[in-house]
Amino acid sequence: MYNPRNGGNARFGSLMSKVMGLLAFSFIFASVGSFFGITVGLGYGASLVAAIAGLVVLIALNFLIQRPGINLFLLYLFTFLEGLSLAPLLGYYLYASGSILLQAFLMTALTSLGLGIYAWTTKRDFSRLGDYLFFGLLLLIVAGLIQIFFHSPIFALIVALVGVAIFSGYMLYYIQRAKYMADTMPNAIGLTVSIFITVLNLFLYILELLSILSGNSNRR
């Protein structure tokens, strides 16, 4: 989706400035989508349709990321649909356990910020994490499918912990990878999508973890 090139520290700072701006608007659109879905009482069936539509938009963005204007439209449409697809889940926690939802938001924000700063400033090389993280992600998907048929609080707790670890690793990986990317809008949009998905999944697994520990899991 994006093209890594050595752009130097100055370009990295400029690229990350673009990404931070795009991320801010992306989460605003996602929040609007969630708010709209909660307000109209969006059901789980409709949320699945929104999630599938979001995947279609993401694929379209991958092909049209070099097209100015269209790429931004597709980015924000994707994030809106992602927020919309989460409306039933967020609505449940909002009315049943708002404190857990708030804790998950705060923990995700602090974790993402801390990991981002560390990846930005450290001299450690996280480039080799990519293959391990991808393999871990595949195992996580398989574990999620197993959870559909095998309900175990211990297994769910382990999956949630592994999910938090994997997407924390992805945060380190993407932020550091940005140091070697050219300062272009397509690269900024591609990186924004990657970080947005990473933060979103990190939030969901933290929410699941807190729910399990409180005995109030509803993610699956």
End-to-end CA distance of the chain: 30
pLDDT tens readout for residues 163-214? 999 999 999 999 988 888 888 999 999 999 999 999 999 999 999 999 998 8
For residue range 23-75, list pLDDT tens digits in order: 999 999 999 999 999 999 999 999 999 999 999 999 999 999 999 999 999 99
Average pLDDT of the chain, as a whole number:
89
Dist CA 47 CA 93 (whole Å): 16
